[in-house]
Amino acid sequence: MLRGKTIVLGISGGIAAYKAAALCSKLVQAGVTVRVIMTESAAKFITPLTLQTLSRHPVYLDTFDEFDPAVVSHINLADSADLVIIAPATANILAKMAAGLADDMLSTTLLATTAPVLVAPAMNVHMYAHPAVERNMELLAERGVKFVEPGTGQLACGYVGKGRLAEPEEIVRAAEQWFTQRDKLTGKRVLVTAGGTVERLDAVRYLTNDSSGKMGFAIAEAAVNRGAEVTLIAARATAAPIAGVTMINVESAEQMYNSVMERYEAADIVVKAAAVADYRPLVRSEGKIKKTEERLVIELERTTDILKTLGERKAGQFLVGFAAETDQIEHYAMDKLRRKNCDLVVANNVSQEGAGFNLDTNIVQVFGEEGLIESMPLLQKREVADRLLTLITDRMAAKGAGE
């Protein structure tokens, strides 16, 4: 599972730094290329030579350790990582990560990497429970950082409690799990819709909604990062295009319908995060509608419900719908799930602060045929997307096993 992967192992300065040697050795034995970065304090607990010998690579301590003039070390390390593990992670490195500081080689590399980060904290029990440390960890979790929780027991400082670095085997297992999870989407064809549709009224006016497309774009990005072949059908959206994703721009619900239908048969997973208009103007004027002294009445007609049609024509695809609600979330979400024959419905309570349109965060509840299956706290949309994909792949695997 880990063979051929590159892991950057960050070691910060706590007594548990000695355990990082065992961790490094286990990773190397598993076929991983391990590149070690130590903080200055870590080097007081364990020598860089130990890690250099175990990893068979130079150990980086200083931002200006440039072993190869052809590359900039911290960028090269950041780019080469499939995964970054920080073990042990002290309260100090957690605070630096939360604040985005870059004052040594480890924190600078962490800021420069786009690789996932797995953190194994270790510290005194009171430090671990300190509100500042808790808040930093919450913030990092919202950004998608994964944690291997410390164990409870006798601590080097004399206290008994939570704060002991997880055992190296457990950290290796967490890394394996991360890759297993990621690889479950490799080669799968994922179709995502995002943004708000635009329904033209005349040459210059239209009906639309507040959707930014951020949730759908985050799902497309998370899916491509997990090795999926992703097509993103985007209506009006402010989110930035994503490398590696095939993007199709559409405007109206009708165009989205046609574009989705064309690709439905070939898709394994369809996620309908778009805010599709339920109504469009019955008549679209070619020119600009001129004002008069009279009232203007615009007649609207229903658009085709894309998700419902997908549900009716489902032939093995895994179908995920979205629901924006303000009350009776469970009732409406379950109703949508059944009516539209979805495998999952992701409901957000748009009346809650931090959830819904045009934000970088969301608070969602995910429903399956048996009811509520996961209630997520306030999270960055990227993290919501990632957790959602884990749910999807788990449910698909269970469905496949049951058939």
**Rule CB under 6 A: is residue 274 a binding residue for ligand CTP?**
yes
List 115, 321, 391, 392, residue binding ligand CTP (CB under 6 A): 321
DSSP bridge partners of 272: 193, 321
Is the sign of the CA dihedral 124, 151, 391, 345 positive or negative? negative
Residue (of 328, 329, 326, 359) closest to 345 by Cα position: 329
Q: How far apart are CA 88 and CA 122, in angstroms?
A: 6
Write down the least CB distance from residue 363 to ligand CTP, Å: 16
List 268, 305, 360, 374, residue binding ligand CTP (CB under 6 A): 305
Write down the least CB distance from residue 339 to ligand CTP, Å: 8
Whose Cβ is closer to ligand CTP: residue 51's or residue 191's? Answer: 191
Most distant CA atoms of the chain, gap in Å: 86
**Rule CB under 6 A: is residue 392 a binding residue for ligand CTP?**
no
Q: Where are the beta strands (DSSP E) in 250-356?
A: 269-272, 279-281, 300-302, 318-325, 344-349
- String of contacts with ligand CTP for each residue 108-147, x by CB under 6 A: ----------------------------------------
Q: Are strands 229-234 and 246-249 parallel, antiparallel or unpaired?
A: parallel
Among the residue ranges 74-82, 160-168, 300-308, 364-372, the one whose residues contact ligand CTP (CB under 6 A):
300-308
- Element (DSSP H or E) covering residue 86: strand 83-89
Residues with Cβ < 8 Å from 282, sequence gap 6 or more?
Answer: 298, 299, 300, 301
**Rule CB under 6 A: is residue 323 a binding residue for ligand CTP?**
yes
Alpha helices in 100-167 (DSSP H): 105-112, 125-129, 131-142
List 42, 84, 223, 307, residue binding ligand CTP (CB under 6 A): 307
Write down the least CB distance from residue 395 to ligand CTP, Å: 17
**Rule CB under 6 A: is residue 306 a binding residue for ligand CTP?**
yes
Scan for tokens 């574009």, then name that residue: 259
Whose Cβ is closer to ligand CTP: residue 21's or residue 324's? Answer: 324
Neighbour count for residue 88 (Cβ, 10 Å)? 30
**177-183 contact pairs (CB < 8 A, 24+):** 178/83, 178/116, 178/118, 178/146, 179/1, 179/2, 179/5, 179/82, 179/83, 180/1, 181/226, 181/390, 181/393, 182/225, 182/226, 182/227, 183/226, 183/227
**Rule CB under 6 A: is residue 303 a binding residue for ligand CTP?**
yes
**Rule CB under 6 A: is residue 191 a binding residue for ligand CTP?**
no
Active site residues: 157
- String of contacts with ligand CTP for each residue 42-81, x by CB under 6 A: ----------------------------------------
Write down the least CB distance from residue 308 to ligand CTP, Å: 7
Residue (of 327, 323, 326) closest to 346 by Cα position: 323
Q: Are 363 and 386 in contact (CB under 8 A)?
A: no
**Rule CB under 6 A: is residue 171 a binding residue for ligand CTP?**
no
Write down the least CB distance from residue 342 to ligand CTP, Å: 8
Write down the least CB distance from residue 345 to ligand CTP, Å: 8
Whose Cβ is closer to ligand CTP: residue 61's or residue 273's? Answer: 273
Write down the least CB distance from residue 370 to ligand CTP, Å: 20
Alpha helices in 271-371 (DSSP H): 306-312, 329-339
Write down the least CB distance from residue 160 to ligand CTP, Å: 50
List 206, 264, 322, 367, residue binding ligand CTP (CB under 6 A): 322
102 alpha carbon, distance to own chain's centre: 23
List 19, 188, 236, 336, residue binding ligand CTP (CB under 6 A): 336
Site for ligand CTP in 222-261 (CB under 6 A): 253
**Residue 105: strand, helix, or coil:** helix
List 324, 329, 364, 366, residue binding ligand CTP (CB under 6 A): 324
Q: How far apart are CA 365 and CA 329, in angstroms?
A: 9
Whose Cβ is closer to ligand CTP: residue 278's or residue 330's? Answer: 278
List 155, 276, 319, 389, residue binding ligand CTP (CB under 6 A): 276
Residues near ligand CTP, by CB under 6 A: 253, 272, 274, 276, 278, 303, 305-307, 321-324, 336
